[in-house]
Amino acid sequence: MQSNGYAYIHTIGCQMNVYDSEKLGTVLHALGYQQTRDPEQADIIVCNTCAIRHKAEEKAFSFLGRFAREKQKNPRLITVMAGCVAQQEGNNAFQRLPHLDLVLGTQAFSRFSTHIDALKSGQRQIVDTAPSDVIFETLPDEIAFKENPVSKFVTIMQGCDNYCTYCVVPHVRGRERSRSWQSIVAEIEMLADNGIREVTLLGQNVNSYGAKENSLSFAELLEKVAAIDKLYRIRFATSHPKDLSKDLIQAMAGLDKVCNHLHLPVQSGSDRILKKMNRGYTAEVFWSRIDALRSAIPDMGLSTDIIVGFPSETPEEFEETMALVQQVGFDSIFAFAYSDRSSAPAAKFSDPVDEAEKMARLNRLLAFQDTITRKKNEQMTGRVVQVLVEGVSPKQHTGFVKTTPHTRQMTGRSAANKIVHFPSDTLAAGDLVDIKIDNAYPHSLWGQPLEQ
């Protein structure tokens, strides 16, 4: 293949964006571009953007703004804004970034190569935010296995029909639509054949997979994926509490490859706030789902999302959230102070919470969760967990291990999504190993392999 130069892809945001960036990289590779980690070397700069929070949006404009001067030096340099901010802003993106060449919306990825060809022919300031009824699909090529040789994300559906009042996803990713189960299985089979041992199935609400297409249910899709040889583990995100079915719980309990970990966003412990968010459940319903999960899978690891300071949230309603966090005992949480998004209905809600008060509530919640997480980690001491080895620890933790200096410190994750560090000179990425946990730390565990 003739080389057309180098491409640099910068990804901001969620796991789905990571997956989408990989697909954009595949397209560029097919056009003859090699990927580089050095933007100064690149002939094409792509920023795959996130619009879920104002800070992420500003990161995208800041990153792309850096290349205005480079464009003056090298007029052949192509700059691309892709993803959710591109879909949201359209032509407006050129007001802040006049040097930008392409605004590529979330549903325009199938037309990416056509636009690159047009830019190389001299066109400038192309915008494509046209809708599409299908999800852009392309099988991974060899570049997909270089970054993470063990685990991969696989999008099974895009868009959302829930219209939570704080969320821009339906406005920037469109209505919910699912891939065919055959294409999903074919992609994962290819990944497994190339050494990938764990996949995370992605969607805004995986629980409703296939419902609009009268396809397989999500529980049935899990059965299909679990039957793939060479694949060790299956994770998925994100689940919506209102759609967590008995069939899905039974599938998680009955399929050995499905990890005993679930990310189930609650967002608030206040019924009034949940209704205002248009979440479709109450705190009691959420707790009933947790109870059913733990009855079926007692060692289930749980994580969640929480928004603090939603418009009109009172101190008493925040305390309801704190009480729910204590009652459930999550292994970890992702908590954020509410911020307006212009296309989301909540931006027009009255009675906003003071910024200082939002941050005070957020810091208190995070500190409280830290105590819960540490206690749960300490309860793991002395237990044996099976770990999927991800590779050498990016940071060598000198206080963790009493081994000879030359022993490598490895890292991996348990099925319940706990980070585990351990010494080994023989284990490699992709191996499964039993680890006896010796020590617990705020965000990770340390142990010794029972066998090499």
Per-residue confidence at 151, pLDDT binned at 50, 70, 90?
very high
**Would the pLDDT of 396 be above 70?**
no
Q: What is the mean pLDDT of residues 429-452?
A: 92
Among 378, 398, 423, the domain-final residue is 378
What is the structure's pLDDT at 214? 87
Q: Which residues have a Cβ under 8 Å from the Cβ of 131 and sit 6 or more positions away?
A: 107, 174
Q: Is residue 395 part of a domain?
A: yes
Q: What is the mean pLDDT of residues 202-228?
A: 95
Q: Is residue 135 part of a domain?
A: no
Q: Is residue 278 part of a domain?
A: yes
The phi and psi torsions of 120 (rounded to 5 degrees) equal -65, -20
Same domain, 187 and 248: yes
pLDDT > 70: percent of the chain:
95
How many Å apart are CA 425 and CA 410, to the nearest integer? Answer: 9
Q: Is residue 443 part of a domain?
A: yes
Helix ranges restricted to H, 297-440: 315-328, 355-378
Q: Is residue 20 part of a domain?
A: yes
CATH number, domain of 220, equals 3.80.30.20
Same domain, 72 and 170: no
CATH number, domain of 403, equals 2.40.50
Q: Is residue 137 part of a domain?
A: no
**Would the pLDDT of 404 be above 70?**
no
Q: Which residues have a Cβ under 8 Å from the Cβ of 336 and sit 6 or more positions away?
A: 53, 305, 306, 307, 308, 362
Among 363, 378, 393, the domain-final residue is 378
What is the structure's pLDDT at 18? 94
Q: Is residue 68 part of a domain?
A: yes
Q: Give the residue numbers spanning the domain of 11.
A: 5-128
Per-residue confidence at 133, pLDDT binned at 50, 70, 90?
confident
Same domain, 371 and 406: no
CATH number, domain of 96, equals 3.40.50.12160
Q: What is the mean pLDDT of residues 348-374?
A: 97
Q: What is the mean pLDDT of residues 424-438?
A: 95
Q: What's the predicted TM-score (pTM) here?
A: 0.92
How many Å apart are CA 184 and CA 222, to the nearest integer? Answer: 11
How many Å apart are CA 195 and CA 389, to the nearest integer? Answer: 13
Predicted confidence (pLDDT) per residue in 89-103, tens digit:
999 999 999 999 999
Same domain, 359 and 425: no
Counting the structural domains of the chain, the total is: 3
**Would the pLDDT of 417 be above 80?**
yes
Q: Is residue 136 part of a domain?
A: no
Per-residue confidence at 134, pLDDT binned at 50, 70, 90?
confident
pLDDT > 90: percent of the chain:
88
- Minimal CA–CA distance to 230: which of 265, 194, 283, 206? 194
Same domain, 345 and 438: no
Same domain, 124 and 153: no
Per-residue confidence at 403, pLDDT binned at 50, 70, 90?
low
Among 378, 408, 430, the domain-final residue is 378
What is the structure's pLDDT at 273? 98
How many Å separate Cα 154 from the centre of its chain?
A: 10
Predicted confidence (pLDDT) per residue in 23-79, tens digit:
999 999 999 999 999 999 999 999 999 998 889 999 999 999 999 999 988 889 999
Same domain, 108 and 24: yes
Same domain, 186 and 216: yes
Predicted confidence (pLDDT) per residue in 233-262, tens digit:
999 999 999 999 999 999 999 999 999 999
Q: What is the mean pLDDT of residues 293-321?
A: 97
Same domain, 120 and 207: no
Q: What is the mean pLDDT of residues 279-283?
A: 97
Same domain, 109 and 35: yes
What is the structure's pLDDT at 75? 86
Same domain, 175 and 277: yes
Same domain, 47 and 31: yes
Reduced to 3 states, what is the DSSP secondary structure of residue 359?
helix
